[in-house]
């Protein structure tokens, strides 16, 4: 089932896009949890981590990590460090069922997470 992120991919609703390729889109989170909070998503609809198939999606996941590293370098946060998070399912705190990688930076992250 399509989510609000499909509308962002299709440019039906606006988003503050920071990176785009043929396969991946990244935009600022509407409710940032850190000074830098970017969502990196595949353009195809994969609802959640448990729908990932390594044999099928390995390259796509690699592109998402490449995008995260490029964004981190562009924003000059690569050296200080950052956190990448996939929330999966209800207990994981997932709200939007279109796979997304959170890139959080700009402050010291807590561990364990809440």
The tokens of 66 are what?
Answer: 């490449």
Nearest distance in Å: CB 43, ligand 5GP: 15
Residues near ligand 5GP (CB under 6 A) = 4, 15, 27, 29-31, 39, 87, 93-96
Whether 100 is a known active-site residue: answer yes
Q: In what order do the strands lie in the sheet with 101-105?
A: 17-20, 24-28, 36-42, 101-105, 82-85
Least Å distance between CB 76 and ligand 5GP?
A: 22
Structure tokens belonging to residue 11: 């440019």
Q: What minimum distance in Å lies between the beta carbon of 66 and ligand 5GP? A: 21
CA–CA separation, 85 vs 87, rounded Å? 6
Point out the catalytic residue in the list 37, 57, 100, 102.
100
Nearer to ligand 5GP, 61 or 79 (CB): 61
Angle at 91 between CA 10 and CA 37, to 5 degrees: 45
Q: Which is nearer to ligand 5GP, 22 or 95 (CB)?
A: 95
Closer of 79 and 83 to ligand 5GP (Cβ): 83
Please, what sign has the CA dihedral across residues 71, 77, 81, 87? negative
Residues known to be catalytic? 100
């Amino acid at each position: 089932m399509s989510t609000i992120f499909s509308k962002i991919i299709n440019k039906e609703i606006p988003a503050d896009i920071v990176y785009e390729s043929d396969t991946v889109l990244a935009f600022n989170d509407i409710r940032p949890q850190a000074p830098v909070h970017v969502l990196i998503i595949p353009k195809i609809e994969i609802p959640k981590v448990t729908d990932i198939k390594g044999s099928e999606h390995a390259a796509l996941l690699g592109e998402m990590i490449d995008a995260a590293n490029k964004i981190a370098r562009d924003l000059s946060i690569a050296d200080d460090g950052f956190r990448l998070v996939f929330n999966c399912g209800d207990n994981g705190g997932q709200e939007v069922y279109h796979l997304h990688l959170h890139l959080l930076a700009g402050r010291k992250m807590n561990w364990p997470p809440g």
